[in-house]
A and B are shown apart, each in its own frame.
Chain A
Amino acid sequence: MKNPLDSIWGTIISGLILTAILYFVARNFLVAST
């Protein structure tokens, strides 16, 4: 499998996916607990 970081768009899409994952975590486990 090709490393997504080898392409600009692969890197940007990975960053967007990571943002969505962290948003989910923050929404369900950080904000909800405060």
Chain B
Amino acid sequence: MNAELILDRWLHVVAGITWIGLLYYFNLVQTPGLAAAKADGSAAGITRHIAPRALLWFRWAAVVTWLSGAAYLLRAANLSLTDAFLLQGASALIGVGAWLGTIMLFNVWVLIWPNQKKVLGIVLADDAAKARAGRVAFLASRTNLMLSIPMAFFMVAGPHGLPV
């Protein structure tokens, strides 16, 4: 393994921690915390100062994670980006993780971020549209939490040999 691949793998792991760490923060801390904060009228600080910053790091960490993972599959001698997405050969197992990660990246940029912009007031929307956007963003975020479980399993199963 050369220095370029080590650095790429390191970047992939650090960006992935940032992405998935914030995903878990949203689902395990912010969403239930925000519901409690709305009840006592203290939600404005979270929606104005915390959520936009968390979403900024969240969505760009997702991009860096995907790109560094794709670059690794392209450059590693024993793996192939094409084989990973075709689920074949030595790249098949990590390919399952790559597919799940790709679906999650789609959810971040196509479902979560555009709808969160409406919820947070970055994009103007009436109350009905905000409620719809909140539900879509919530379900997309929960879907990503669900997908992160097998995604992480197959990301680590590939290089270490799936116990079959």
Contacts and interface: CB of A to CB of B under 8 A. Distances in A.
B92 A5 contact: no
**Size category of the binding interface on chain A:** 10 to 19
Contacts of A34: 88-90, 92
Given A19-B150, A31-B164, A26 B27 contact: no
Contact of A18 (B89, B139, B149): B149
Contacts of B90: 34
A8 interface: yes
A22 B152 CA distance: 12
Contacts of B146: 5, 11-12, 14-15, 18
A1 to B, nearest CB: 15
Given A11-B145, A11-B146, A30 B153 contact: no
B56 interface: no
B149 A12 contact: yes
Interface residues of B, number: 23
A14 B90 CA distance: 28
A16 B90 CA distance: 24
Contacts of B148: 15
A27 B92 CA distance: 11
Interface string A1-34: 0010110100110111011001100110011011
Contact of A31 (B93, B139, B142): B93
Contacts of A18: 146-147, 149-150
Interface of B: 27-28, 87-90, 92-93, 96, 139, 142-143, 145-150, 153-154, 157, 162, 164
7 A-B pairs with the lowest CB-CB distances in the bound complex, closest first: A15-B149, A5-B142, A19-B150, A15-B146, A30-B92, A27-B164, A14-B146
